[in-house]
């Protein structure tokens, strides 16, 4: 009997030492993180998922429980409840929409599980329901796009021309939609000669972006600009414009502007289809890990954390910039 106990103890010690050599931590020492992801609707989202999966690894001291909500809030609420049941150490949410979260966040608070918001925000009356948020400044992104358009038109000698704009919005009620629509709208108001003809949701997908643009092109024959609230919608809109026998980009009939700045958007600008894209940085995995490490160390974290973002257009050396980018 004694022999058996000794051999079990020896094997456990060997496993622990092997794990230490391989830099793998014991299961019970891992920080368990549940990530309630929006879905897989865009290239941006794929890069965001990859950023979390490559950061929250066992080698880095984490166990990640990943849930894809397929763009449905009810799925995200179910995922958060399942994380609570599994008694995870942290819950991270990229909320599909901004409202409707109070009840489930109160359940997480009661269970003593800190919630970190990433990418999109939540509107809650009690902001102690979450630790902090990290993401892009969507209103600023929209205003930057509007100001870029004003300068572009001015440079082309079209500053005083009547300009007809359509917008393919993101998922209605998502921070990225709310902020970008508001930001662009702020600049449209400053230009009496700009007219927003129509706005419809393309749900941040290429297929829906194409569908919405097809319907805009049938309704309006004098569109000068299409604002797409993400790159994937722009890819769909470009297909619709070409299928309708029109052209787009710097030498075309319709100016196309989008948000995200994913690799395929650079390719589209290089091909002469897309005019400009306003960056929304998806690499939140390391940022959320840094927040968790601070919380683990008992440090304060800033409640609202905006990330730096830029923009890119066809006047730049896009090949060189693209070669340096991670997504
Ligand atoms: O919330 C960020 C937005 O969501 C990105 O712009 C879009 O591509 C994604 O679906």
pLDDT digits (tens, 9 = 90+) for 90-103: 999 999 999 999 99
Pocket test for ligand 1, best of 68, 119, 234 (most atoms within 8 A of CB): 119
For helices 175-188 and 138-155, the axis angle rounded to 10 degrees is 40
Q: What is the pLDDT of residue 28?
A: 87
> Does ligand 1 come within 6 angstroms of the Cβ of 230?
yes
Residue nearest to atom 1 of ligand 1 (CA): 176
Q: What is the pLDDT of residue 11?
A: 56
Half-sphere exposure in the Cβ direction for 161 (13 Å, CA): 17
79 and 37 Cβ atoms separated by less than 8 Å: no
> Does ligand 1 come within 6 angstroms of the Cβ of 177?
no
* Average pLDDT score, the chain: 94
Q: What is d(CA 72, CA 95) in angstroms, rounded to the nearest whole number?
A: 9
> Does ligand 1 come within 6 angstroms of the Cβ of 120?
yes
> Does ligand 1 come within 6 angstroms of the Cβ of 279?
no
Q: What is d(CA 215, CA 131) in angstroms, rounded to the nearest whole number?
A: 43
Task: Determine the distance from the C-alpha atom of residue 277 to the mean position of all C-alpha atoms in its chain, rounded to a whole number.
Answer: 14
For the record, the structure tokens of 174 come out as 């998502």
For the record, the structure tokens of 319 come out as 């090949």
Pocket test for ligand 1, best of 95, 96, 98, 176 (most atoms within 8 A of CB): 176
Pocket test for ligand 1, best of 37, 44, 236 (most atoms within 8 A of CB): 44
> Does ligand 1 come within 6 angstroms of the Cβ of 130?
no
pTM listed for this prediction:
0.92
Tens digit of each residue's pLDDT (9 = 90 or more) over 114-134: 999 999 999 999 999 999 999
231 and 42 Cβ atoms separated by less than 8 Å: yes
Does the pLDDT at position 13 exceed 70? no
Does the pLDDT at position 25 exceed 80? no
Q: Mean of the pLDDT values across residues 277-305?
A: 98
Among candidate residues 36, 77, 98, 82, the one with its CA nearest the CA of residue 288: 36
């Amino acid at each position: 009997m004694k022999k058996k106990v000794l051999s079990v103890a020896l094997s456990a010690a060997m496993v622990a030492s092997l794990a230490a050599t391989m830099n793998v931590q014991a299961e019970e020492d891992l920080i368990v993180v549940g990530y309630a992801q929006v879905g897989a609707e865009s290239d941006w989202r794929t890069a965001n998922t990859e950023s979390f999966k490559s950061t929250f690894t066992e080698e880095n001291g984490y166990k990640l429980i990943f849930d894809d909500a397929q763009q449905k809030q009810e799925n995200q609420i179910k995922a958060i409840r399942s994380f609570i049941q599994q008694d995870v150490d942290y819950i991270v949410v990229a909320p599909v929409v901004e409202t409707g979260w109070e009840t489930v966040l109160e359940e997480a608070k009661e269970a003593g599980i800190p919630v970190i918001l990433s990418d999109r925000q939540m509107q809650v009356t009690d902001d102690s329901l979450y630790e902090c948020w990290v993401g892009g400044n969507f209103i600023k992104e929209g205003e930057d796009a509007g100001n870029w358009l004003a300068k572009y038109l001015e440079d082309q000698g079209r500053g005083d021309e009547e300009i007809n704009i359509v917008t393919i919005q993101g998922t209605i009620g998502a921070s990225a939609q709310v902020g970008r629509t508001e930001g662009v709208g702020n600049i449209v108001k400053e230009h009496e000669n700009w007219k927003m003809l129509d706005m419809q949701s393309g749900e941040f997908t290429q297929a829906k972006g194409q569908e919405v643009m097809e319907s805009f092109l049938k309704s309006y024959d004098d569109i000068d600009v299409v604002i797409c609230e993400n790159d994937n919608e722009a890819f769909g809109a470009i297909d619709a414009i070409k299928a309708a026998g029109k052209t787009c980009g710097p030498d075309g009939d319709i100016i196309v502007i989008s948000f995200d700045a994913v690799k395929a958007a650079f390719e589209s600008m290089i091909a002469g289809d897309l005019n400009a894209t306003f960056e929304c940085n998806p690499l939140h995995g390391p940022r959320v890990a840094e927040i968790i490490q601070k919380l683990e160390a008992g440090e304060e974290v800033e409640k609202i954390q905006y990330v730096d973002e830029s923009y890119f257009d066809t006047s730049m050396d896009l090949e060189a910039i693209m070669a340096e980018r991670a997504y």
